[in-house]
Amino acid sequence: MSTEPLIALQNVSRRYDSGPPALDDVSLSVATGEALAILGPSGSGKSTLLNLIAGLDKPTSGTVTVGGKRIDTLSEAASARYRRATIGLVFQFFNLLDDLTVFDNIVLSAQLAGGAKRETHTRATELLRGLGIDRHARAYPGRLSGGERQRVAVARALMNRPALLLADEPTGALDTASGTEVRRLLTALHADGQTIVLVTHDRTLAEQCATRTIEVVDGRIAADTALAPLR
């Protein structure tokens, strides 16, 4: 087995024209199979860090390597291919397409990636069943509860079997019951071997799901804590 980290950031800074750097000389390694929760106050640089790993943003200096490949130097097209092949993304407000059914939302990225129709459909059906939302396959996202929508978003993120699942405040817009559903789901995915990096203010989510937490304060990693397994 390779000992190379799945994610490696080296001396990464992200500066905007005005104000202090959003990220300030951050170095971070994440191994395959880890579940990392990024904590920290509002405006501290958490989403910036996640977006750099997703290739949605570029560092001003430093390097970002995922799966042994530099992603901070990719063109926009190559970066989109990297995301389709390697990354599943889940956001606070789901980002589902309201004009497509649940099923079509889930298969869209696989179709864009050129996946064979039959396999794509089999995989989507499996995911819907596994996440307990198969009865909503033909519904439009607008008809679903917040927790159901987030499960659809997770199914969409998992469609291409990503090496890395990234989530930015996945329970941030959910009520207590829906939050519980999504926390359970992410924890089960991690137990199944999925590598996860998530940004959250939700201490319960971090405690349940994560094997490690980092705290970002003023663009720097202020704490890096391994959590005991088998909690």
* 227 DSSP assignment: P
Segment interacting with ligand ATP, rule: CB under 6 A, options 43-51, 82-90, 118-126, 146-154: 43-51
60 vs 122, beta carbon nearer ligand ATP: 60
E-state strands within 67-203: 69-70, 87-90, 164-168, 195-199
At closest approach, how far in Å is the CB of 44 from Mg ion? 9
47 vs 171, beta carbon nearer Mg ion: 47
Q: Which residues within the stretch 11-30 sit at the binding site for ligand ATP (CB under 6 A)?
A: 16, 22
109: amino acid identity, one letter: S
47 binds Mg ion (CB under 5 A): yes
> Do residues 39 and 211 touch, judged by C-beta distance below 8 A?
no
Q: Which does 48 bind (CB under 5 to 8 A by kind): ligand ATP, Mg ion, none?
A: ligand ATP
At closest approach, how far in Å is the CB of 106 from ligand ATP? 26
d(CA 165, CA 159): 11
Question: Two tokens at 208?
Answer: 């349940």
Strands 195-199 and 35-39, by their bridges, are parallel
Segment interacting with ligand ATP, rule: CB under 6 A, options 46-54, 75-83, 149-157, 159-167: 46-54
Interface residue with ligand ATP, options 2, 42, 75, 176 (CB under 6 A): 42
d(CA 166, CA 50): 7
E-state strands within the chain: 7-14, 23-30, 35-39, 61-66, 69-70, 87-90, 164-168, 195-199, 212-217, 220-226
At closest approach, how far in Å is the CB of 34 from ligand ATP? 20
Segment interacting with ligand ATP, rule: CB under 6 A, options 42-50, 104-112, 128-136, 190-198: 42-50
At closest approach, how far in Å is the CB of 138 from Mg ion? 33
Question: Which H or E run includes 158?
Answer: helix 146-158
Question: Two tokens at 44?
Answer: 């501290």
Q: Which does 44 bind (CB under 5 to 8 A by kind): Mg ion, ligand ATP, none?
A: ligand ATP
46 binds ligand ATP (CB under 6 A): yes
d(CA 99, CA 91): 19
At closest approach, how far in Å is the CB of 145 from ligand ATP? 24
Q: Which residues bind Mg ion (CB under 5 A)?
A: 47
Q: Which residues bind ligand ATP (CB under 6 A)?
A: 16, 22, 40, 42-48
